């Protein structure tokens, strides 16, 4: 939605979250190619500074538990944020976060129902085309058997895991996208600073 930016009116802007920066291009590609009817996203997310290292007080009783010792279901605002950048998806998405005991690298697991019947090969081709074209520098298309440690230090917003793409009965799609929730997000902050600076 960078084309909507007006430096005379928009004095406080948001780069959203690391998860949103992964999820947004994923939903954009799927919606443009297959038209999303509804979807549910789970982010399997490295634990963060908002959690407790030992069991200790926190307003979220799950985040109060020892982060490096537990798998912690919690909230994410990524689905709501998508509606701000892709308004036609408003009300069609929901999401949850599962914080896991790794210090960095996270994964978006997205399942959606689409209008256009498709195959895993067509879904992968759509992401490959996007990675080579309009999302060059943001989406990386991978055919490697990745694990989370492979993602650390990767500057892309989403590393699309083509080996895990699934389609059921033509209209139910499951895709995975990796992201470095620290380094990858920092790269997008730099992009935003450059973009705003050029408009001043």
Q: Which residues are catalytic?
A: 18
Question: Could you tell me the two tokens for 57?
Answer: 């007080």
Buried b (16+ CB within 10 A) or exposed e, 155-181: bbbbbbbbeebebeeeeebbbbbbbbb
Contact 144, 150 (CB under 8 A): yes
The number of C-alpha atoms within 13 Å of 194 and in the hemisphere containing its C-beta is 6
Closest to 184 (Cα-Cα) out of 18, 1, 41? 18
Q: In whole angstroms, how far apart are CA 35 and each of 28, 31, 123? A: 9, 4, 12
């Amino acid at each position: 939605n960078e084309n909507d930016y007006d430096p005379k009116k928009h004095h406080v802007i948001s780069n959203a979250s690391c998860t949103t920066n992964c999820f947004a291009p994923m939903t954009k590609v799927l919606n443009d190619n297959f038209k999303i009817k509804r979807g549910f996203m789970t982010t399997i997310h490295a634990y963060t500074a908002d959690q407790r290292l030992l069991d200790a007080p926190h307003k979220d009783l799950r985040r109060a538990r020892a982060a490096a010792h537990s798998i912690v279901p919690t909230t994410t605002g990524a689905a709501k944020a998508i509606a701000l950048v892709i308004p036609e998806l408003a009300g069609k998405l929901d999401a949850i976060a599962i914080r896991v005991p790794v210090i960095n690298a996270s994964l978006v697991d997205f399942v959606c129902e689409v209008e256009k019947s498709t195959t895993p090969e067509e879904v992968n081709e759509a992401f490959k085309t996007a990675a080579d074209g309009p999302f060059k520098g943001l989406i990386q298309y991978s055919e490697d058997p990745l694990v989370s440690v492979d993602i650390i230090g990767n500057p892309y917003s989403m590393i699309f895991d083509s080996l895990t793409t699934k389609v059921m009965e033509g209209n139910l799609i499951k895709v995975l996208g990796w992201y470095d929730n620290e380094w990858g997000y920092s790269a997008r902050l730099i992009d935003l600073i450059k973009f705003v600076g050029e408009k001043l």
